[in-house]
Structure 1
Amino acid sequence: MKLLTVNLGRPEAVDYTDAPSGRTGIHKQPADGPVRVVAPGPKGVGASGLVGDAVCDTRHHGGNDQAVYAFAREDLDGWERELGRTLVNGSFGENLTTLGLDVNGALIGERWRIGADLVLEVTCGRIPCSTFAASLGEKGWVRRFTRQAAPGAYLRVIEPGEIRAGDAIEVVHRPAHDVTVSVQFRAETTERELLPRTLAAGDALHPEALEAARKYVTRQSSARKPEGQAGYPGH
């Protein structure tokens, strides 16, 4: 398992983003040298965890729980075959293009060591947005990407460090549950009935995903209460 490339984006003005700045950093290119990775700060304030990488819409992207985005080269290869076009590393806006690592089968809370020092923790899958779709220019892209349920993984920084292309990736912790990135993504998108299952991941789950799952469980519990029995509102 290794890191093929570390990919960085620069701010670019485009006509298809709803970011207040009118710019996006989704078009990422492999970095030539080492890249420092740190916890960027809370969502809405912090941006990318990779020094030198642009996140232009901090309303929806970046922050400690989405500090790094990883996508497998094997999955890019699959999309190349389906779309009939070349997809270079960074094409999906990923910071890390990996090889030999089952990114979508990774467990929420799973930890990876990359290089000598960096330790990352898996938090959730990537929900496709309109900017992602427009940047690729593929018809019905959000629906197609969602149906595949192989979204790549967002990660938080547990221990900062410096990484570069070719670094080994080691899984140093696997939690004792079965909530994978793919399961969590399906729960958030096409199979809401899986949301209660994602609670097994606990606080390792992205806070917004955790709150959504808790609210779903509360609503389902209230709906099942016998007539006349008091319920409790969601929170």
Structure 2
Amino acid sequence: MNLAVITEAEWAGDASGRSGIDKRPAAGRVPVRVDGVVGDFIAERAVHGGPDQAVYAYGVEDAEWWAAELDRAVPPGRFGENLSTLGVDVTGAVIGEEWAVGSALLQVTKPRTPCRTFAGFWGVPDLIKRFGARAAPGAYLRVLREGEVGADDPVEVRERPAHGVTVGEVFRALHREPELLPRLLDAPDLPESIREKARRRLGVAGPR
């Protein structure tokens, strides 16, 4: 589990000039609550954090791809992730999929959308464009059962919805492939804000 080291910088999106994107491995076990990871720092709560974005996971395998692409070390937490997973297909995770990690039960909700804070932290001006092209955004998760998570806890996929709409598919639908937007309406565990965005783009009336 990774927790934020507060960074003060011009690129920080928060009005106070602070960011929690720089996360480092935590010692011991860390409590995970419905509203987020205990001890983590989130600056812009209008767009980050909250029940649908309580935990952010990014795959070590994807981080290794970026390390080779940018020719730099990418230690755990460098993507601002709380969970650095290994052997988990994060991009291929199905929306609503449940992960047992430590004593917590988490549920995949949505992909991450990169922002200028992300590009500023890395010092790569075109990172947002490159991140979008790679389309391996990592996954946000909500907490179905609060618990504690430690560094070596395995991720056990407990349940996977039959609709098959993945994190990667949602990301591509929103940013690159609008023809995929109808699929988003098949995933009831997507945050309603995303489902409503899809309905608006498709010109489809919402639920009454």
RMSD, aligned α-carbons: 1.6
Give the one of 29, 32, 54 matched to 1:34. 29
Give the one of 15, 40, 54 matched to 1:53. 40
Corresponding residue SS for 1:78: helix
What does residue 226 of structure 1 align with? none
Q: Please report how far the alpha carbon of residue 11 of structure 1 lies from its aligned counterpart in structure 2 after TM superposition.
A: 2.6
Give the one of 31, 38, 54 matched to 1:67. 54
- Conservation of the 8 A alpha-carbon contact between 1:196 and 1:216: no
**Identity of counterpart residues, as a percentage?**
48
What does residue 196 of structure 2 align with? 211
Q: When the two structures are aligned, how many residues end up with a matched partner?
A: 208
Give the one of 72, 75, 95 matched to 1:88. 75
Judge which range, 152-161 or 205-214, deviates more.
205-214
Q: Please report how far the alpha carbon of residue 12 of structure 1 lies from its aligned counterpart in structure 2 after TM superposition.
A: 2.3
What does residue 24 of structure 1 align with? 19
What does residue 113 of structure 1 align with? 100
Structure 2: distance between partners of 1:63 and 1:182: 21
Give the one of 166, 182, 191 matched to 2:177. 191
Gaps of 5+ in 2: none
Runs of 4+ in 1 over 3 A off after TM superposition: none
Give, as a single letter, the amino acid of the residue that structure 2 aligns with 1:187: A
Q: Please identify the structure whose Cα radius of gyration is greater.
A: 1
- Conservation of the 8 A alpha-carbon contact between 2:61 and 2:86: yes
Q: Structure 1 length as normaliser, TM-score?
A: 0.85
Structure 1: distance between partners of 2:27 and 2:50: 24
Gaps of 5+ in 1: 1-5, 41-48, 222-231
- Conservation of the 8 A alpha-carbon contact between 2:13 and 2:19: no
